[in-house]
Chains A and B, each alone.
Chain A
Amino acid sequence: MTVTELVSYEDALATYEPVMGLEVHVELGTKTKMFCGCSTALGAEPNSQTCPTCLGMPGSLPVVNAVGVESAVKIGLALHCEIAEWCRFARKNYFYPDMPKNFQTSQYDEPIAFNGYLDVQLEDGEVFRVEIERAHMEEDTGKSTHVGGATGRIHGASHSLLDYNRAGIPLIEIVTKPIVGAGERAPEVAKAYVAELRELIKALGVSEARMEMGQMRCDVNLSLRPKGAEKFGTRSETKNVNSLRSVERAARFEIQRHAAVLGAGGTILQETRHFHEEDGSTTSGRIKEEAEDYRYFPEPDLVPVAPSREWVEELRAGLPELPRVRRNRLREEWGISEHEMQSVLNAGVIDLITATIEAGADAASARKWWMGELARRANEEGIDPTALPITPAQVARVAALVAEGALNDKLARQVIEGVLAGEGDPDAVVDKRGLKVVSDEGALGTAVDEAIAGNPAIADKIRGGKVAAAGALVGAVMKATRGQADAARVRELILERLGVTE
């Protein structure tokens, strides 16, 4: 593999303007496949979710999944698209074993949704409008395992094994119009677009859109043109970029690579490229033929889809509040900055915080726990915060215990730890671990007296008016009570005992 000499990002952008096109595939969360009743459940044993239709057996007939069409219309509407009054499926013919039919049932020149846009917000709050070319319905392919080559790659494999459980799972492919005018922020826009699209898909409830599970996959098409030029340059297509960070890195890498090739007087090949997570680079895949001929033709086994205007309007009326609008509303309700809201979004805890507030917590403490202790734990364990074994109601209960003075922050963290460890509800953890702010004045008084007796020099300083020194004695009492004392009350008692007022 030859090492690509890159041009610095700044130099590339000084000469060229990037033009991007993003293609995102979303696997719908339907119970069954797009054209047959086979289950789409993950983790089933190989080839246990297939039937004559998705195996492409002669004589089998596909029937469209109603929820698949409904989901496609919802996605189209949320992307401000027009919805086709009449459209057909088409066969995309290709010879490759991941599709047992030797064609993928897709849509060609009659997509169900077209001409829309998605406004995306960059980290600093700037809003960028990404125009949508189309969203169409199609089906996923089977899963190949390549045997005999190095590290499971297709190159050098002696043969391949196919599991068709995934073949036929509904996909919606969403294609942007060329994204121009983003300049140096193009990679950021790409990432923000995919992130916003993912939020939108989740809000619509049509898919969990988990990129790490392949439920959402992105192809980044990129070309450069000299600044001021009209004509687009030749593009490369970086396939299957499967995390938000990778989308940004892939776009950035391709800008630098294209600039290097063009700057040296070379030409960019129209080719597919593979992205490498390890170092953020891309390498050449296959050269695309001049006009790749998939011999598209209308699918004769499926009748046209003609969404009635009444149905479309019904679906439009039922759309949820769009994520960006919702985030701006919540940001105002919670009284936080754009930047803080972006952090909450990045941490994936918006819904968790909202649910915690609904369960009775105030916005500040709900955000504090989810963004602090809990985000850290999820991060440590490499899981989504939603997968933590604690509910928003439990977090709200902890916040309530702090608010009423029954717990201080330190104890509250221990309670959360207990809940996460499966010791039960917050109240049960408090009981079992004996985590209560010590408010028994007798016990507290003894601890205070001992702290004073044990630190005579500090006590003298305080008596002499150095009230700030009281902190050291508060610390000693907190240590003696294993953090269970109410620090403010301890301080009062110390000053009282030493005859000082603040």
Chain B
Amino acid sequence: MPGITREEVAHLARLSRLELKDEELDHFAEQLDVIIGAVARVSDVASEDVPPTSHPLPLTNVMRPDEVRPSLTPQEALSGAPAQEQQRFKVPQILGEE
């Protein structure tokens, strides 16, 4: 089974907007490899008669009351944004030239 490469971890980190240091890339590549390997074992035991499972716990109706909880401040919310303007998240052009 092909392992996950350091480049793939870097790509995932960029998609997730996570800034990882060089040694973290190595560290996570190794860890993710183990996780993928473990998850792959599920395919070995899952047979036709095992229904797809979306949640491992036999729980239903976990709900919270409709009560306001403190939010982040706008400064906190925007602290991880690569760019901001007018207290809003700034994103690159959405539609290319037509």
Contact = CB atoms under 8 A, between A and B. Distances in A.
Same complex origin of A and B? yes
B89 A47 contact: yes
Contacts of B95: 154-155, 157
B8 to A, nearest CB: 17
B72 A86 contact: no
B20 interface: no
DSSP class of B's interface residues: helix, strand, loop or mixed?
Answer: loop
A161 B90 contact: yes
Contact of A45 (B60, B65, B74, B92): B74
A64 B60 CA distance: 11
A31 B66 contact: yes
Given A47-B74, A64-B62, A298-B54, A32 B68 contact: yes
Contacts of A154: 94-95
A48 B74 contact: yes
A394 interface: no
A306 B60 CA distance: 6
Contact of B57 (A88, A144, A161, A303): A303
B77 interface: yes
A354 interface: no
A157 B93 contact: yes
A10 B58 CA distance: 59
Given A58-B18, A88-B54, A97-B91, A51 B71 contact: yes
A47 B66 contact: no
Contacts of B59: 303
Interface residues of A, number: 53
A297 B67 CA distance: 29
Contact of B66 (A49, A65, A157, A158): A65
A300 interface: yes
B77 A50 contact: yes
B73 A48 contact: yes
B47 interface: no
Given A37-B68, A154-B94, A159-B92, A63 B63 contact: yes
Interface string B70-93: 111110011000000111111111
A428 interface: no
Nearest to B57: A303
A159 B91 contact: yes
B64 interface: yes
Interface in A123-170: 144-147, 154-155, 157-164
Contact of B91 (A31, A162, A299, A306): A162
Contacts of B70: 37
Interface string A24-52: 00000011100011110000011111111
A155 B97 CA distance: 8
B93 A47 contact: no
Given A157-B93, A163-B88, A164-B89, 9 more contacts: A46-B87, A48-B77, A50-B77, A58-B16, A64-B64, A65-B63, A65-B64, A65-B66, A96-B94
25 contacts: A37-B70, A38-B71, A46-B87, A47-B77, A47-B87, A48-B71, A66-B63, A66-B65, A67-B65, A86-B60, A97-B91, A146-B94, A157-B93, A160-B91, A162-B88, A163-B87, A164-B77, A297-B54, A300-B55, A303-B55, A303-B61, A303-B62, A304-B61, A306-B60, A307-B61
